Each structure stands twice: as C-alpha cells, then as structure tokens.
Structure 1
Amino acid sequence: MTKITGIIIPCYNEYYRLDKKKFCNFLNQKTNYHLCFVNDGSSDNTLKMLLELREFNPKKISVIDLENNQGKATAVQTGANYLADIEHIDNIAFLDADLSTSLEEMDNLVTKLNSNPKLTMVFGSRKTEESNNIERNIARKVLSNFIGFFIQFILQLPIKDTQCGAKVFKKSIIENVYSQQFISKWLFDIEIFLRLKRHIGIKDLLSSISEEPLDSWIEVEGSKITLKDSFLIPINLLMIWFNYFKIRTHTKNASDIFNLKKNDYMVR
C-alpha cells in the first residue's frame, strides 16, 4: 500500500519567491504527497496566492492561515498537528518555501524513511562529506559553523547539520515532537532532537534517525531571519539549554503547554 506523506511549507511574505509551477509539477508526478501551506501572518499577497494554488488540486493541497506572524516553529507545529489528524497520512515532513532543498531531494528522504521500518526520522544534511553542489554565502557559512559548535555542545549527538530545512517523520512520533510549544522561533530543530533524545534515549535515537547528504542545496536570497534574530541566536541557545537541562520539579500536560488554540488559525 502506498504511503502518503504530508509536507508542511511555512510561508511568510513568499509572494515573490514561491514557485507555484514547481509545486504543481511535483503533485502531477507524485501521487503520494499532500502539501500543507501555512501562511504565517503574511503582510503581502501570499495568502491570496496560496488559495489560488490550492485550486490546482484541493484534495492534495491544504492552506492554513495564521492570523498573526508567529515564526517558523509555530507554523511548522501547526501544520504537523493538523496533518496528524488526517487518517490517510503516514509521514509528516517540512520544507522551506523557497525550495533551497528541492522537492526531489525531499522525495529521496521520504524514500529512505519508507524503505527502513526501523527509522522514524530522516533529515537532509548540507555538511556531510557526500553532499554535493551546496551553494552558500561565505559569511553565512562561517556563522553557521560558529553556531554549530554550540549546538553540538548542547545536543551531544553526532549530527553534522541540525538546521537543514528538510525533515520527514513517521506519524507515530509527531505527538512526542510537536505537542509542546517550541522555545525558539528559528532554532526549533535543536529542540526536536532534544525531545526525541529525552523520549527514547540516545541509543535508540541514533538507530532510528538518519542524516542523509543532499545532492544539491542552493541558498535563496530573501531570508526571513533579520539582523536582530541573528543577535538573539546565542540567547536562544542559552534558553534552550536551560529549559531542557534544568531539573524539573513537575511535568505539565502537553495540552497545557501547547497554547496555540484552533481559533488562532483557519484552515482555508
């Protein structure tokens, strides 16, 4: 039986960057995907464009509208919890709207996940020795390596690239990963690994995830991470470290922590 994968595409002011034709062509070629676009409170005509795109295939395209901009973490989390309630979807992924990692690369990650019953998560990597055709601004590469050092210190896991915006999960682990609100708008990928590490332990985690080299990855101009966000990265890392490693005296219910209510967004 064909497994269906739902792909979340968070969108914030993507009117001039989102390539509708590529998404439509992908759905024409691949019948085992459902695209879930999450409009993260865009101030341009992104929502209008997404609604027009949905008309191409209403059964295979969903559009979620967040009234206010809340950041990539909440956009992805909202999409994940929405897709988890759709019975016929088996895997849930997320991918950047600019397609710096292509839909074809995502398909490769999904194939890897479906081919191994022991795996519960597969993610792309721009930093493995096998990765090819990775185009990136030198300054961003230096900053990425600097931040990566601190990420490794926090995670204590042999993962080379936590921040690549292409990840796919089996539906069975979605609740463990996405039921709680994330601390950081942009560094939530680190929290994903920390949550899985806490839930199943290091040994089982390493045997159930796979970091796959990308054949290509292209940095697209128009990043939504502002200069202010860049300066806040060290603070965000410190907050993540403190919240995940401090001694907790009690545990809250997931429903208490995940405070994004359904009336905060609308499925179009």
Structure 2
Amino acid sequence: MKLLRFGEIGAEKPGLLDADGQVRDLSGHVDDIAGASLSPETLDRLRAIDPATLPIVDGNPRIGACVGSVGKLIAIGLNYADHAAEANMALPEEPIVFFKATSCICGPNDAVEIPRGSVKADWEVELGVVIGTRAKYVSEADALSHVAGYCIVNDVSERDFQLHRSGQWVKGKSHDTFAPMGPWLVTTDDVADPQDLAMTLSLNGTAMQDGSTRTMHFSVATVIAHLSQFMTLHPGDVIATGTPPGVGMGKSPQVFLREGDEMVLRIAGLGEQRQTCIAARD
C-alpha cells in the first residue's frame, strides 16, 4: 500500500496511490498519515478499503511529505561501507546518530533552498524508516515489527556548516527544505526486503549515486534496536538510515549544489523525488 499526503503546505490531506497511479482521497477514513494512523490496526483497515470507492483527486496536486507531524527525525551517519571508503573514514563500531530539525521536512518535489553563506551544499539519497508502534528496549529480532513503512529521504547537508562551524552536525543538516520526504509511504507488506533496495541520485542528468541498501553497515533492524536503547521511538518518528557513495563531498574534484541544479532520487519500489535548488527565502 502506498500512502501519501497531497495539497498546499500546511493543508495536506491523506491519500492513497491506486494500482493505476491515481491519487485517491482518504480524508473520509483518517485525518492524516501521522501518529496513530500508522498503527497496524489502522493500516489493516485502510488496506481493506477498495480504492475504487475513494474519490479521485483531480488535477496535479502538490505532493507533501508522506508523514505528517513527525516527532523525531533521526539520521545515521557513515552507515554504508562504500560511502565510508569514499570519505576515507573508518566504519563506526556503533551507529553514528544525529538529529535533523523537523522544520526541515518538505515535500518530495518541493524546491531545496541553498542557505545564505553556503559553500558546500550536498545531497544524500537515503532509505527512510517510519515507525508505526512504540519501540523501547526492543530486540533486533523484533525491531522490524515496529515499522509502518519505508520512504525516500534526501538528507540534504551543508558540509561547511556541518564540519567547520563547531558543535554537532545538526547545524549543517537542518536548514529549511533539507529533508524532502516521499513521495509515498510504502507499507511493509509491499517491501519484501529493506536490505535489498537499489537507490540512485542524479544531478542535472548525471548519475552521482548508484548503490543498494545491501551495503549498509548496520541493518534497519540493528539501527532500530540500537536507537530504542537510548530513546523511545513513537509512531510517526522517521529514521534516515544513511547514504551510499557518490555524495558531492566525496567527488574528486568535489561538487556542490548551486541555484538551478536539479536532483532526481529513486529507490526501487519507493518512487521518485525531483527537486530544483533555489536561493534561501526569508
């Protein structure tokens, strides 16, 4: 099942993508794709609905972030063996955990802002994991049972802010629009194996990233179990699980985002994102 949110910023409605690629309105069944609506019981109820009975959404509406009211946006650093190699950094013994401000979440095709003073804005195609049930002190064997579904996240980063402006990585990770999310939340029954998903990112038509979740250092289950030892994960929390090689910082010479650049991101079965870079707004 592919769930989504459509409409203007701040006024998104819940929707479902049917087998013909048409957006269907779920407003009569749930208030939003968020929180309690991600529970197994609610998802089972939505699966039981015949999409043909839902209103078709006319036109070409804006697609918002596929999850609303995200409580925590947690990210994992250096989680791909081949990405660590391109960065000339050792693989960590435990997951590297950092946060992105939830205010940086945006729709999958919204413009990405280049911050004022930016000199090293970068891209990162990542598998997003959306929590569906409360997870605290869970085992690795039980971890995936707490997942509602998966989505694409672009962990946009400003490397100079991240690495040279002192303090935690959050400074380089949290500018407005630095977490395009979606287009869909694909529920777990439609993702056979989260550790076998091809993922790509192109910049202005040139392939930059071409990898697979097979090369994750810490699996999705390991990451969830690890995080749950330090914090309770709640329905609607999102985990960005790391990126494969091909980021701008790892190129020789390095390549960074500029106004007018276009990124296209794809993960097998999870859809496509397309963003144009613009100057930061007030």
Between Structure 1 and Structure 2, the one with more strand by share is: 2
TM over 0.5: no
